[in-house]
Structure 1
Amino acid sequence: MGSAVERTDKHVREYLIYRGFTGTLKQLDSDIKADKEKGFRVDKIIDQLQQLVQSFDLSGLKEYWLHLDRRLFCRLEDVYRSTVNKLRTSIYRYYIINTIQKGNLEKTQEFFQKQALELQGQAEWRDWFILPFIPAPEQNPAFSPYFSRQWADTFLVSLHNFLSPVLLSFDAEVQKMTSLTEENEQLRQKLFALQTESRDQKEGDEMVQHKLPLYVQNMDRLGDTELDLVSSQRAISATVTPSRNFFSTFLPQGKRTPVKAPPITVGSSPSQAAVGRKESSVNQMAKPKEASQSKEVKAASNQSSSGESASSQSQQTANQTINQHSRHKRIQEHEKERKELFSRPSSQTPESKGEDVDLTPAMNISGEPPESSSREEGGLPVEQPFIKLSQEEYGEHHSSIMHCRVDSSGRRVASLDVDGVIKVWSFNPIMQTKATIMSKSPLLSLEWATKPDRLLLLGSGVGTVRLYDTDAKKNLYEMNIDETHPRILSLACSPSGSSFVCSAAALSRSGGDASVPRLPIPVSGQLLLWDTKTVKQQLQFSLEPEPVAINCTAFNHNGNLLVTGAADGVIRLFDMQRYESAMSWRAHDGEVYSVEFSYDENTVFSVGEDGKFIQWNIHRCGVKQSEQVLPQDATGPFVLSGYSGYKQVQVPRGRLFAFDSEGQHVLTCSSGGGLIYRLTNDEPALERVLSLGGHKAPVVTVDWCSAVDCGTCLTASMDGKIKLSTLLAQKS
């Protein structure tokens, strides 16, 4: 343990020297010198005791021994108490012998005067009170052994041998706790890997059974119950909408579309159910073409019926019936795990009756939304989609939060405040800070790397991006992006490789302060693609009609598409296979603050300076699917007022909204905590279902971790507090 403490002190000294904190360094040296444990080094403790004896500091010797007793000896078992008492007696005798050998009889008499009340009742001290009055005590047979060099050396060696295991026990406890923590983490990772492998294997089995194309297997992340529906829709619409033909080259074909699906009856086969869904979503003119594009299974069945005997047909029909029933059972189980939004009839939702949904932060006493907002037709209550199990607070930051992101595995969180301090911490099984990152230059953005997820990208205000290893707690390297555009506003890592997209902007007239609102005129910016392996810039994207600062970026699940929101209010969609712009449209009056793909990735959601939450169809450029006006405390700029007219204003930097694992609920900011809404296909587009609460300052950024069974909502506020709300989804 002593060596570990010494190494830590050395690193702290090097850090203080590097930062130029000379005053703190002097105070550290002073505190180390006054440290009574001496870094848990036995030799240093022995030297301190000898120094007190040699300087005749009786009060200091007593105080130091009492400190060792409270700090170390009291933690020992009772069997060692007699040994501790013998060592205390020996250290006092060592002190007395030293005063006589040095000829300082005054200190000898002082010892017996101050210790008389304590020692006179002890048998081992009864003969020692006569010691100051003996002319030559070193020649007295009773005391002469204590004046020998051999006794002093023996005593010091015994004290050293006794202290060593005592201090090692501290080290053993620390190592034991560290090993248990590491073992727990390894087991948790192994469990997560087994769960992921089991899920991937199950999805792979379903894909093989349905004989999906290879690119669909690699790109699709939804269930296979909607594959026939979306595939047929895209095949039909390819002759109507040319833009869909463009996206069909790199969009997954199994994405779910927000349509109303009729319920599947027990007697119907999955193919019949798919046909029913097609008829409900495709116009009448497309039906003949849809009928002509029947499945290979049907064609094979018809061909066999013309060439095989009646007995073969009956056997095949029986086998198909069994397979269809088993597949239908899996489909029902799969659909039960999905939310009921896409299959609920429109007449059951309060929005279809023209009711207004209150989007203000007003709540009842319990902190939940009004009960009337969660009732079906007829006044029957609807079960809440989530149960809030707990809410914890992370309070290591001392200023307003800018970014707060969970890594892809759901194990670590990285949070950045306006002072440029980054905390990397975990919340499972306990909340614990893993690393603290500070920088001389201001930090404006952060992003977790995809592979490996322990790496963190940090964007600064001086044109650099650092790659930080959260496990090793060190910078791997630093990339110089662009001196003319030094403000790194946004970072996004591609899910499919080692590249990342970097948004760099020029300095504004306000100096690039994150807490100062931007100018009405958008500043110049660049959108760059970098490779983390070669640490080189790959290309620069073209921003039409003019170079502008990109505020937010987001990839789709396989990295084939990139959506950006800019300071000029324009959303741009890039094809990452061709590295060119696919389309762009003006989305908001003012800046675009936050953009995300929908779960089926057929639409894009955005929040802008105009306070609107809009859903856009990416197959029809600039076409809105829904629009909702959010309160100002959900979109910013965020204002925190204090005493004496103090007011802090912060422009949005991090995520303003986040989706749950199935993309049917969205978490937004508010003045008192996060708000969760249900996405609807009607007007209004959002239905408020749950208020998380817990904050005393405006929430400025959110994130929703769904990598574990219980989803965790992160809400970060302007007072530096981050709330972790653990939710349990209620399956219908």
Structure 2
Amino acid sequence: SPFPYQVDKIVEQLQQFIQSYDLPALRDYWNYLDRRLFSRLEDVYRPTVNKLKTSLFRYYLVYTVQTGRNDKAQEFFLKQASELQNQVEWKDWFVLPFLTNADSNPTFATYFSRQWADTFIVSLHNFLSVLFQCMPSSPVPVILNFDAECQRSAVIQEENEILRQKLFALQAETYRMKKEELQQQQQQEEESVVHHKLPAYVANMDRLGDSELDMTRSQRSTTHSLQSRGGFLSSLLSQSKKGPSRPTMTTGVSPTQTGGILLGKKEPSNHQSTKGKEVATGCKDGKSHFTGLTANEPVLVQHRQRRLQDHGKERKELLSKVTSQGQSVEKKMEKGATEAEPSPELQTEQSESLTKTSAFSTEAGGQEQPFIVLSQEEYGEHHSSIMHCRVDCSGRRVASLDVDGVIKVWSFNPMMQTKASSISKSPLLSLEWATKRDRLLLLGSGVGTVRLYDTEAKKNLCEINIDEDMPRILSLACSPSGASFVCSAAAPNLLSQLDLAAPETGGRGVSQVPGKLLLWDTKTMKQQLQFSLEPEPIATNCTAFNHNGNLLVTGAADGIIRLFDMQQHECALSWKAHDGEVYSVEFSYDENTVYSIGEDGKFIQWNIHKSGTKVSEYALPTDATGPFVLSGYSGYKQVQFPRGRLFAFDSEGNYMLTCSSTGGIIYKLNSNEKILESCLSLGGHRAPVVTVDWCTAMDCGTCLTASMDGKIKLTTLLAQKS
């Protein structure tokens, strides 16, 4: 036997079996390698072994067709049918023996190229070489490595504890110094300004949840009189629903250590407001909901920047090893694709032949990119244009919906796998994950119903009727507490029964499609109330909660953004945002501002402290905002108007992912330039991307881009910390 170190002879033996059309011997030899070698590997390597096996049999099939032995190709499927018929990757291959010019067929042309064959052989050779280098001549069972693993784990835990103690010591010292500076500044301010001042505990909180808010209750008694003068803003800051949907930046430190809170932070220095100046709102009754915001803006800005710098420096030290490995992987990435991709541990040595991702564009001027592209995979279970593609709050599963009403729930870590699949008899228009019991999906239809779908039990739990006169459920948003959800219902679009065409208003104008915005209880599945939409009932296209559910922002067909107080259940702010419909709206990371994309092709940032004052405005290309157009043969043309999320942020809100005709594009935010700075083009699509999402639950963020041909790309990124 050529085992264990003669890799060349192993590969040569496999090629001899292929050239002699000896399928039984080829299959037996691979099974021997699997029993002797591959079965001893950890489970994380199993997907790589399966991909190598698939590529080996495809290599055999292509050889039989190239040599004119179609009888051997038919014999292959006859003997292997029972094993391959349930495997998705073999679904299109059963027709191969019956094609006259298979080498020119778009589905198989790649596999008939010399480049693919050479890449596969080199990949197989490198995989076996690295495998033999990483194991002794007699492979040791995993269970015998238990003691070594325990010792290594103990050493790592000890190192982590030392680093944690150093981190806490640095944070305590930094907090003490910053607290002294803040106290001095507050004393100076109290001498000159004594009215409209935010409570001390509010000015020093940053996106706190219930656990941290409980720790500040002892401070509230001393600042109650000041808080009562804060009006609507202070009332929102002092309360929180159940559990935040996003974690805080730091752990193990006091709440006053984490910087300024949502809504309590001040704007950058170039957008400072006059101290003590009151801010009027744009509500229907003309009353002022937001009183003036005064505080030490320069000090708080410096405080925030210094805290982020300290955190970034510490994180950079802790992740230096991971980053250095990621950089070596990125440098070795090249164009081309191969189905045989070893896992990252094995890929480091020979990544130039084992990668399956395309080369991505680099930032102009040769500057260091903010992200390293680790991999790009494709989910291809949909066969029509995608409408929605959303990651759940845990970052473990994705729910996707296409225009044919097909729902797929799938995971991508550690391997891509479909967990649940369903087809709706009635058209579906909206999709949203539930925040509590995150196994549940909310599905809005085009016939006035909302369905609650259990993705683990793979069945509908209930279906409720919303409004017969407003059958189109355009948007769903579940509150972070999970106790309720917001539902946007709209009247039928008479100009398009398929809901793929916008009302013709003579160019960009105000769409007059009526609609309702309703609040429903998720436990009782009963309607709680209907929000007032002024100046008239209008269709709401997009909705989003802030981190604790106290605020709801909506974008409507009349171009108006409305900000709702979810404790009073009334509109707190509203302003004209876009010339035409608002397609997508989201809170910023610090939740002091709101971003929106509209029919006019503009991407705008709004200050919610100043009645919707415009902070920045950028023009986006049409392929980022829609309508999205897919052209085909014989004049075929498919048009799709925006339905899902058009942009998403990274974990710290510094970068934005948008749609494009060839894939997602990442832009840098908060720059002084008048145009958005493009940092990275993800690519990978042959049809326009219509919706995106950015999973930030893990340190390696995953960008999802879904297109009109039903393909969804998952691009895994590693953030480069400067």
1:248 and 2:234 aligned: yes
The one of 607, 611, 617 aligned to 1:617: 607
Q: Hey, what's the Cα distance between the residues in 2 that align with 1:271 and 1:588?
A: 35
The one of 215, 220, 223 aligned to 2:208: 220
Deviation at 1:460, TM superposition (A): 0.4
Aligned residue number for residue 536 of structure 2? 546
Aligned residue number for residue 377 of structure 1? none
Q: AA paired with 2:364?
A: E
Q: AA paired with 2:620?
A: L
Aligned residue number for residue 688 of structure 2? 698
Summarize the Cα distance change of 1:628–1:253 in structure 2 as closer, same or farther, 3 Å threshold: farther
Deviations 1:113-158 (A, max 9, x none): xxxxxxxxxxxxxxxxxxxxxxxxxxxxxxxxxxxxxxxxxxxxxx
Aligned residue number for residue 425 of structure 1? 410
TM-score by length of structure 1 reads 0.54
**Structure 1, unaligned runs of 5 or more:** 1-66, 73-194, 225-230, 255-269, 296-326, 340-364, 373-380
Contact kept? 2:363, 2:369, Cα under 8 Å: no
Aligned residue number for residue 437 of structure 1? 422
Deviations 1:517-555 (A, max 9, x none): 334332110000001101100000000000010000000
- 1:616-635 matches, cutoff 5 A: 616-635=606-625
Aligned residue number for residue 532 of structure 1? 522
Q: Hey, what's the Cα distance between the residues in 1 that align with 2:315 and 2:423?
A: 43
Q: Hey, what's the Cα distance between the residues in 1 that align with 2:238 and 2:676?
A: 27
Deviation at 1:622, TM superposition (A): 3.0
Summarize the Cα distance change of 1:331–1:713 in structure 2 as closer, same or farther, 3 Å threshold: closer
Aligned residue number for residue 169 of structure 1? none
Q: AA paired with 1:644?
A: S
Q: AA paired with 1:336?
A: K
Deviation at 1:617, TM superposition (A): 0.5
Q: Hey, what's the Cα distance between the residues in 2 that align with 1:331 and 1:651?
A: 39
Contact kept? 2:644, 2:691, Cα under 8 Å: yes
The one of 655, 672, 680 aligned to 2:670: 680
Determine which structure has the larger helix proportion and give its number.
1
- Give the SS at the match of 1:250: helix
Aligned residue number for residue 649 of structure 2? 659
Aligned residue number for residue 645 of structure 1? 635
Q: Hey, what's the Cα distance between the residues in 2 that align with 1:252 and 1:283?
A: 23
Deviations 1:496-524 (A, max 9, x none): 23200000001011344232333433211
Contact kept? 2:470, 2:491, Cα under 8 Å: yes
- Give the SS at the match of 2:393: coil
The one of 358, 382, 387 aligned to 1:397: 382
The one of 334, 354, 360 aligned to 2:311: 334
The one of 450, 464, 469 aligned to 2:435: 450
Q: Hey, what's the Cα distance between the residues in 1 that align with 2:684 and 2:535?
A: 44
Q: AA paired with 2:571?
A: S
The one of 364, 369, 373 aligned to 1:371: 364
Deviations 1:52-75 (A, max 9, x none): xxxxxxxxxxxxxxx999989xxx
Deviations 1:648-685 (A, max 9, x none): 00000000000011111000000000000000242325
Q: Hey, what's the Cα distance between the residues in 2 that align with 1:675 and 1:401?
A: 18
Q: Hey, what's the Cα distance between the residues in 2 that align with 1:515 and 1:400?
A: 12
Q: Hey, what's the Cα distance between the residues in 2 that align with 1:445 and 1:620?
A: 32
- Give the SS at the match of 2:235: coil
- Give the SS at the match of 2:236: coil
Q: Hey, what's the Cα distance between the residues in 2 that align with 1:701 and 1:390?
A: 20
Q: Hey, what's the Cα distance between the residues in 2 that align with 1:496 and 1:70?
A: 50
Corresponding pairs, count: 439
Q: AA paired with 2:387?
A: M
- 1:185-264 matches, cutoff 5 A: 213=201, 219-220=207-208, 245-251=231-237
Contact kept? 1:220, 1:253, Cα under 8 Å: no
The one of 509, 519, 541 aligned to 2:494: 509
- Give the SS at the match of 1:246: helix
Q: AA paired with 2:313?
A: K
1:523 and 2:516 aligned: no
Q: Hey, what's the Cα distance between the residues in 2 that align with 1:69 and 1:712?
A: 36
Summarize the Cα distance change of 1:447–1:70 in structure 2 as closer, same or farther, 3 Å threshold: closer
The one of 549, 560, 577 aligned to 1:559: 549
Q: Hey, what's the Cα distance between the residues in 2 that align with 1:271 and 1:606?
A: 27
- Give the SS at the match of 1:334: helix
Deviation at 1:290, TM superposition (A): 6.8
Q: AA paired with 1:612?
A: K
- Give the SS at the match of 2:313: helix
Contact kept? 1:338, 1:662, Cα under 8 Å: no
Deviation at 1:452, TM superposition (A): 1.0
Summarize the Cα distance change of 1:562–1:685 in structure 2 as closer, same or farther, 3 Å threshold: farther
Deviation at 1:252, TM superposition (A): 7.3
- Give the SS at the match of 1:249: helix
TM-score by length of structure 2 reads 0.55
Contact kept? 1:425, 1:435, Cα under 8 Å: yes
Deviation at 1:369, TM superposition (A): 4.5
Aligned residue number for residue 493 of structure 1? 478
Q: AA paired with 1:451?
A: K
1:406 and 2:391 aligned: yes
Q: Hey, what's the Cα distance between the residues in 2 that align with 1:672 and 1:492?
A: 29
Deviation at 1:330, TM superposition (A): 8.1
Contact kept? 2:619, 2:675, Cα under 8 Å: no
Q: AA paired with 1:457?
A: L
Contact kept? 1:595, 1:606, Cα under 8 Å: yes
Summarize the Cα distance change of 1:507–1:283 in structure 2 as closer, same or farther, 3 Å threshold: closer
Summarize the Cα distance change of 1:573–1:476 in structure 2 as closer, same or farther, 3 Å threshold: same
Contact kept? 2:202, 2:237, Cα under 8 Å: no
Aligned residue number for residue 476 of structure 1? 461
Deviation at 1:570, TM superposition (A): 0.5
Q: AA paired with 2:567?
A: Q
Higher RCO (Cα < 8 Å, 6 or more apart): 2
Q: Hey, what's the Cα distance between the residues in 1 that align with 2:269 and 2:203?
A: 28
1:388 and 2:373 aligned: yes
Contact kept? 2:206, 2:258, Cα under 8 Å: no
- Give the SS at the match of 2:436: coil
Q: Hey, what's the Cα distance between the residues in 2 that align with 1:279 and 1:424?
A: 41
1:607 and 2:597 aligned: yes
- Give the SS at the match of 1:248: helix
- Give the SS at the match of 2:232: helix
Q: AA paired with 2:617?
A: E
Q: Hey, what's the Cα distance between the residues in 1 that align with 2:267 and 2:387?
A: 45
Aligned residue number for residue 132 of structure 1? none
Q: Hey, what's the Cα distance between the residues in 1 that align with 2:238 and 2:587?
A: 13
Contact kept? 1:337, 1:731, Cα under 8 Å: no
Q: AA paired with 2:233?
A: F
Contact kept? 1:548, 1:567, Cα under 8 Å: yes
Aligned residue number for residue 73 of structure 2? none
Q: Hey, what's the Cα distance between the residues in 2 that align with 1:419 and 1:713?
A: 24
Summarize the Cα distance change of 1:384–1:580 in structure 2 as closer, same or farther, 3 Å threshold: same
Deviation at 1:693, TM superposition (A): 0.2
Contact kept? 1:369, 1:688, Cα under 8 Å: no
Contact kept? 2:540, 2:556, Cα under 8 Å: yes
Q: Percent identity?
A: 68
Q: Hey, what's the Cα distance between the residues in 1 that align with 2:398 and 2:259?
A: 46
- Give the SS at the match of 2:415: coil
Q: Hey, what's the Cα distance between the residues in 2 that align with 1:214 and 1:250?
A: 10
Q: Kindly report the root-mean-square deviation, in angstroms, between the aligned alpha carbons of the 2 structures.
A: 4.2
Q: Hey, what's the Cα distance between the residues in 2 that align with 1:676 and 1:490?
A: 25
Deviations 1:574-629 (A, max 9, x none): 00010000011110010000000000101000000000000000011131000000
